[in-house]
């Protein structure tokens, strides 16, 4: 009898514990699932925010590092001061025009001087300002032309004379790419936004008199000027740049000898080609150069 009572009590206690465990399991399980859902939502939100913070035009895995900036030509913090200049002449003695024109005398010249200063805001990248002066002049003396008896085209050329002076101011950005590990040779690409203003004096023969007209011109230009550079001394660099054209807007106001306005012209164009008159040789001094490593 005593053994039966002990067995019944132990069985009741076991059933009560099992029932209590069965009742508490759903609540614990619900709390566990809720915690897991909250953690998963936070993880998804965090990954979404990180992905939005890393959004690029192209996925990073599709980008190619061409290591253009691996070779240093100039360092962050450097200041440069330089000068570019060009000079060219044209004469009738240097051309074949004398084959069809007799007794002509023509000559012209173009001279340009452009000092500039710049600052390297990071390695191989520079911004700066440039000032410029350009003088252009040319004279065509009287001459006779004859295209042959079969063409029946002959005539005389009048006297012409042209003189022009222009002043300019511009801002530029120049990016370098080193060509050797020691940074002696490099290439650069330069974009320049400039404004120039000046005057032109034009004289021509009309009958037995020499008449003159004057014009004031203003030009805005966005130009592309690539080139090459080489250090000839530790802090002195020689450059050669080429003008390849760009976008420009020109406004010209023409006046007579008494200063009265007699006409005006406005034009805009975009052209990219090698301009022989825009081939410039320059010298650049690099100041406050950091030690190259």
Tell me how long the chain is.
293
pTM: 0.66
Give me 105's structure tokens.
Answer: 């005398």
Give me 292's structure tokens.
Answer: 């190259």
Give Cα separations from 288 to 75, 76, 212 (angstroms): 10, 10, 52
Nearest to 264 by CA among 218, 220, 222: 218
- pLDDT given for residue 195 in this prediction: 96
Residue 207's contacts (CB-CB under 8 Å, 6 or more residues apart) are: none
C-alpha span between 131 and 118 (Å, rounded): 12
pLDDT, tens digit, 9 for 90 and up, residues 194-204: 999 999 998 88
- May I ask the CATH class of domain 72-287? mainly beta
Please check whether residue 121 is in contact with residue 76, taking contact to mean a CB–CB distance below 8 angstroms: yes
In the chain, which stretches have pLDDT less than 70? 1-67, 92-105, 142-156, 277, 289-293
Please check whether residue 123 is in contact with residue 75, taking contact to mean a CB–CB distance below 8 angstroms: yes
pLDDT, tens digit, 9 for 90 and up, residues 41-100: 555 455 554 445 555 555 555 566 666 777 889 889 999 999 988 888 877 665 555 555
């Amino acid at each position: 009898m005593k053994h039966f009572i002990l067995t019944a009590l132990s069985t009741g206690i076991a059933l009560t514990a099992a029932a209590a465990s069965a009742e508490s399991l759903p609540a614990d399980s619900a709390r566990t699932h809720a915690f897991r859902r909250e953690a998963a939502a936070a993880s998804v939100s965090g990954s979404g925010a990180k992905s939005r913070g890393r959004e690029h035009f192209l996925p990073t895995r599709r980008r190619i590092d061409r290591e253009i900036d691996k070779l240093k030509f100039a360092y962050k913090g450097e200041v440069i001061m330089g000068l570019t200049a060009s000079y060219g002449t044209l004469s009738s003695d240097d051309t074949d025009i004398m084959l069809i024109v007799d007794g002509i005398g023509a000559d012209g010249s173009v001279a340009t001087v452009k000092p500039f200063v710049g600052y390297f805001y990071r390695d191989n990248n520079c911004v700066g300002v440039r000032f410029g002066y350009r003088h252009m002049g040319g004279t065509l003396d009287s001459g006779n032309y004859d295209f042959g008896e079969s063409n029946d085209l002959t005539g005389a050329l009048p006297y012409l004379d042209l003189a022009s002076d222009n002043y300019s101011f511009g801002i530029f950005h120049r990016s370098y790419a080193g060509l050797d590990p020691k940074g002696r040779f490099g290439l650069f690409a330069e974009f320049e936004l400039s404004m120039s203003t000046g005057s032109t004096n034009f004289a021509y023969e009309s009958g037995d008199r020499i008449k003159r007209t004057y014009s004031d011109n203003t030009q805005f230009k966005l130009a592309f000027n690539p080139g090459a550079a080489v250090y000839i001394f530790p802090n002195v660099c020689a450059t050669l740049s080429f003008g390849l054209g760009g976008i420009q807007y020109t406004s010209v106001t023409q006046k007579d000898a008494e200063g009265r306005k007699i006409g005006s012209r406005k034009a805009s164009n975009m052209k990219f080609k090698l301009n022989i008159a825009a081939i410039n040789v320059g010298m650049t001094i690099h100041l406050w150069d950091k030690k190259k490593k």
